[in-house]
Each structure stands twice: as C-alpha cells, then as structure tokens.
A and B are shown apart, each in its own frame.
Chain A
C-alpha cells in the first residue's frame, strides 16, 4: 500500500501550476466568457506542447499511455485555474470513448490526431427529457440498409461548437432498458443534417450546445464498438470522466478556499481580521476539510479506474463525483459569503468558481443520481 504521489506525478502538477498561472489568469477566463469559441489557438497549441492531449492516449497511437491519476494531476490544476475551452471534452470524453470502444482504424485515425492537437471532440448524451439522469437515452437511430439514420436532439453538449467529432449515444434497439440497444456513433461535426447551436449558459468557461440531428446518415464505419452494445463501454468512459471532473472540482474547491482564507486575513472589521472570528474561521476550516478529504477520495477513484475491479471502479466514480462536486459548490458559495459584497460582484473572481462548480455538479450525473447509482451498485 502506498498512497503518495510519485515524483513524476508531483512534477506534472507543478508544471501545470506554473503553466496555468502564466497562461490562464482570471483575465483570460473572463475574456473567454465573452469569446464565441471560448479558447485561443495560442493556449491550445501550448497545451499540446505540454503533452496534455497525449497523456492518456496509448503509446501505439502516438500518446504517452499514462494512468488516470496522472491526467488528474493536470485536471486538478485546470480546475484551480477555471481553465476554459475544450480540453476536458476532448481528452476525457471523445478520446476515452475512442480508446474504450474504437476499432483499430478509428484509433489510428483519431487518437493520434488528438494526441497531436489536431482533433477536438466531445460526447453527446443528455436529451431534453433526461434531466440529470444518464440512463435515459431515447434518441433514435433507424437502420437503413447498412447505414443508420439519426434523428433527434442532444442537449447541453459541452464544446460541440468547436468539436471536430462528436461521440453520440443513441438508441438502436427497442425498449427503454439502458443496458440494451444503445449504440455509440462517431459523428463528424460537419455532417449533413447536423445543427449545432450554442446555449446561453451560466458558466461561460465551458460552452454548452444543442446538437440537432435531422436525417443524419451514418455508415457502419462510424459506429464505435458494436451496434446495440454501447452501454457498457459508455459506462466506463463516463466513470473516468466523472473521476476527471472530480479532480477539477478538487482544484476549484482548493482555490476558492485559498482566496477566501487570504481575504479573511486582511479584511478588518471590529478592529480585527475577520478570520479571527470563529464564524469565519470555522467556515474556512470546513472548506479546507472538504477540499482535502475530496482529494483523498478522488485519488482512490482515479486509481480504481486503472487498477480496481469493475465494481470498485464504478462505486468509486460515483462516490467521488457526488462528494467532490458538492465540495466545490460548498467552497465557492462559502467563498462568496466570506468575501461579502465584494464576492458578489462580477469584478471579483469568486463567481467564476461558483458557476463552474454548479456546472460541474450537474454534469455527468448530479449528486442525487450518483447516490442512487451507488445504492444500486451496493445492493446488487
């Protein structure tokens, strides 16, 4: 048993901190809130040079073949910086789906392009009626000869407006059973009949879109994995993404706590720093407790994705996603309270954390969904 970070892992985190401090200050995040694409080519290019796109791509396809925990080092720092843009969608959603379910040819074509920074992607999952539930997929793909024809709407698809490929989970079999009849398609974002519309969202640092399919025709070569059998690989992809997002939450929660704590040391009221009052001190302490304990939980979950059995991987992902995302929201909201009126202004940065926190909490299954999923896993 050894639950400490290796030197290499610590170095990844240190480098990421250094890079993001320079390249992704809050001014950049604010700029990207207003930007239609939500990132710059410049930062993307530099992230590619840092090998961030390649970390989880297997070596056979031009990547580094690293573990989830290694990528989590970067994601935690990205959460600290509220990094905008399609990094998470590309490496944690699109790339993982192709790694998990792609054919040799699909991997050859797409994974090396992702590793090189030449391909961006995302995953289309949510539907108008699914809410925060990941198990409810109703959009249909009808077979027509050897092709499939896709019709319907996917909601809240992160970064679809800048994606080259969209992994889309749709129903090809009959019935409602999530575990039966789901097929994953690798859709070219320029496909005929596809309309991508950005949504006006609360968190401007990760853009969400509607993706409408009107008779979008997909050949058999665009199926990821086997027809009707997309649910199991999709679960594994989602679990990893939940763990990755949890790491982001830990980073954000940590930073929000630090900002609030720094302020509590210098803001004077009643002749003393407000951090001397236990009402504020204990709030800051609680933020620390939650951030630090979330980090421990997400280390376990990240490890379990690569080295645990199937059940441990599933349980740990839901545990981490429910706990860490709530921690982030608590800390961002607590941060606003400690900062007082200042924290409630657009000028201050704390709202960037609150908005990202709430978006993360609701993404990839909300805490209520994950606790219910945990119960099903525990009592199975």
Chain B
C-alpha cells in the first residue's frame, strides 16, 4: 500500500502545472466567483482553452492515439483532471458532460465511424455535447422516457421533450435517450441516439436555476430527423448503454471531485480566519471549529475513498461495492460544507457578489445555492440509497416496483 504518486507521476504533475500557469486565459483568477459575465464568453473561453490543452497533448491521456488520445494511462488522465479541477472548474464547466459522458460513450460503444467523426472535434474544443435523459415524467424513474423515435426509411423521426439538460444552450450535439419501441417493457424499448442540435425542429429553452444562472434547459424535439448512423449500439439497447456509461470513470470522477473539494475546504478555512464575529475571527469559535473540522474530515473521506476505489480500477479490478457510494460522499458533505460557510458569515451571508461587503466575491452564496442541486443531479440521494440497498446489500424492491419489474420480465 502506498498513497504517494511515483516520482515520474509527480514529475508529470509538476510539468502540467507549470504548463497550465502559462496557458490559462489572460486575467484568469481561480479565486474569483465567476470569471465570465456571460455564457457566450464562457463558451468561447472554454473552446480556446480546450484547443490549447489539445495542442499541448493534455487531453484524453488514456485513449489511443488514433482517436486523438495520448496513449498513456488513466493515472495521467486523472492527474490532469485533478489539477484542472483545482484551478479552473468554471472554465471547464461547459465541457463537463462532453468529457464525462460523451467521450466515454463514443469511445466504448460508438461505431468506428462515430468515433472518427466526433471524438477529435470534442477533444480540440470544436464541439460541446449535452445529455438528454430526464423528461418531465422521467426523473428518478428515468426508464419512463416518452420522447419517441420512429424509424422512417434511413432516419428516425424524433418527437418529445427533455428537461434539466445542462449546457444544451451551448451544445452542438446531444446524447439522447428515446423510446423506439412503445409496445415492449419500459427498459427494453429505449434507444441511444446522437442528435445534431442544429437540426431543424430542435428548440432549446433555458431555465433559470436558484443560483440565478441558466446552466440547464428544456429541449423540445418537433419531427427532428436523425440519420440511422447516429444510433449508438443496437436499436432498443439504449437502457444498457445509458446505465453502463453512467458507471464509466465514476471512480476517476470521485477522485477529481475530491481534489476540487480539498481546495474548497482550504478556502473555507481561509475565509473563517478572515471573517469576524464579535470582533474575533470565526475560526476561533469552538462551534464553528467543530463544523470546519467535520467538513475537513468529510473531504478526506471522499479523497481517500475515491483513491482507494480508483486504485482498484487501475489494477484492473472490477470496482467493488465501495464504488457505488462516491456520489453520496461528495453531494451531502458539500451541502454541509457550504451550509457551514454561510453560517459563519451571519448577516453578511445575505450579500451576494457585487458589493464591497461581499465576502470572497460572493463565492459561498453561489456555492451554497448550487450545492442544493448536488443531491438531485446524476441520481438523487434517494436513488443512490435504493441502488446500494438493492444491488449491493441485496434488499428486496418495494411491492410496487417489484410488481412493475415482474410484469416487465
């Protein structure tokens, strides 16, 4: 057992860090709450930066060279993503779904033609992707999607609506889960399509989140034509593809989030040292000290649990049941961390970005509100605990769901 990077890995990390220092956008401040005023600026900055990463050979470290990868290992990929997550999360945000889902889906399940057509343009920043799974009536019960794809000659005709689609307003393509066979069991009639967001009939309407931002959207599909070669895997195999790709690189994801949270807790400690209550820094208050330490421990838990999991994967092992808990280990602790941050600020906690009295440029206000989405996005905490209870601990489904499963079998 060894928790350290090898000297070579350490060297690679240092090398990348010094490259990064010279290649971030001009005026970039990792400590500022939001570096870009508009999403248009953010999108452009993302694309420019992704191009630079690509030119310098810091993208898709673990994928083969023929698809635009670097032919190295998952370890190098993780080092790159960890460093990026501590310095420029905002800058990278438009690419979260693109790199976290589209790349592994295309790489693992895509046809040779799809890989060659789409991967290089993702990696060099030309294209942004979004993921259309959720619908108004398919939230936690995601297999309930009703967006229809009907085959007509050499194409599918897609009609329906998706919702909570992050970065759809910036996206060039969409990973779309559709119903291709309405006459069979819910899980068995789904297909997985790649859809051009510029195709006629695609209508994106931004939704405003409680942070005031519009990261996510509704997408309406009105007789959208999708060529048959945009199908991933086989027709009606969409559920398996959706489920397996959701699992991909989950261990790496936890490790990357762990690195970002390590940065958060150190910023929080810093804020507590500089924010006063009754004339004294709140970091001297015994109650807040307990909260700070608790959050620190939770960050360490995420970090080392993620690394343990990831390490198992690196050794070629199948991630064990410990792999299923990462989501709960970051989402709920992040809410406690940001809650503590707000609590420490007293009346100041109400001041958002944009005042001389804003603390840390309003970062904690944003983080607090944003964290409320953490236990909903990517599978709610309740769904996570169902999965652990049923698939890991072997507990039975409740009567209603057991009945549905039975009729479908």
- A278 interface hit (Cβ, 8 Å): yes
Complex partner residue of A288 from B286, B293, B392, B397, CB under 8 angstroms: B392
Whether a CB of chain B sits under 8 angstroms from the CB of A346 is no
Task: Select one of B290, B294, B300, B312 contacting A297, CB under 8 A.
Answer: B300
Pair B1/A288 contact, Cβ less than 8 Å: no
Q: Give chain A interface residues in 283-341, CB to chain B under 8 Å.
A: 284-286, 288-289, 292-297, 299-300, 303-304, 307-308, 316, 319, 322-323
Asked if A278 meets B382 with Cβ closer than 8 Å, knowing A292-B305, A379-B273, the reply is yes
Report the interface size class on chain A: 35 or more
A interface SS class: helix
Determine the distance from Cα of A379 to Cα of B273 in the docked complex, in whole angstroms.
9
Pair A323/B301 contact, Cβ less than 8 Å: yes
Q: How far in angstroms is the closest Cβ of chain B from A231?
A: 22
Select from chain A the residue with minimum beta-carbon distance to B298: A323
Task: List, in ascending order, chain B residues with CB within 8 A of A372's CB.
Answer: 286, 289-290, 293
B317: A residues at CB distance < 8 A: 4
Interface centre among A69, A292, A294 (most CB of B within 10 A): A292
Chain B positions 373-409 with a Cβ under 8 Å from a chain A Cβ:
382, 384-386, 388-390, 392-399, 402
Q: Compute how far the CA of A105 lies from the CA of B305 in the bound complex, rounded to whole angstroms.
A: 42
Nearest B residue (CB) for A274? B395
Q: Which residue of B lies closest to A370 (CB)?
A: B293
**A374 CA to B296 CA, complexed, in Å:** 9
Q: Name A260's closest neighbour in chain B (CB-CB).
A: B393
User: Residues of B within 8 Å of A, CB-based: how many?
Assistant: 52
Choose one: A276, A282, A322, A371; the contact of B382 (CB below 8 Å): A282
Q: Are A293 and B311 in contact (CB under 8 A)?
A: no
Within 8 A of A (CB), among B50-85: 75
Chain A residues near B399 (CB-CB < 8 A): 271-272, 276
Roughly how many angstroms separate A378 CA and B270 CA in the complex, as a whole number? 11
**What is the interface of chain B, defined by CB distance below 8 A to chain A?**
1-6, 9, 75, 269, 273, 283, 286, 289-290, 292-294, 296-297, 300-301, 304-305, 307-309, 311-312, 314-315, 317, 321-322, 325, 328-329, 382, 384-386, 388-390, 392-399, 402
**Which residues from chain A sit less than 8 Å from chain B, CB to CB?**
1-6, 9, 69, 261, 264-265, 271-273, 275-278, 280-282, 284-286, 288-289, 292-297, 299-300, 303-304, 307-308, 316, 319, 322-323, 368, 370-372, 374-375, 378-379
Contacts A/B (CB < 8 Å), 24 sampled: A4-B315, A261-B394, A261-B395, A276-B395, A276-B402, A278-B385, A281-B390, A282-B389, A284-B393, A285-B385, A285-B386, A285-B393, A288-B321, A288-B388, A289-B388, A292-B305, A292-B325, A296-B309, A297-B297, A300-B300, A319-B300, A322-B294, A375-B293, A378-B293
Interface contacts beyond A275-B395, A293-B325, A378-B293: sample of 18 additional A-B pairs, CB < 8 Å, sorted by A = A1-B314, A2-B311, A3-B312, A69-B1, A264-B395, A273-B396, A277-B398, A285-B388, A289-B328, A292-B321, A293-B301, A296-B307, A299-B1, A303-B2, A307-B2, A319-B300, A368-B290, A374-B297
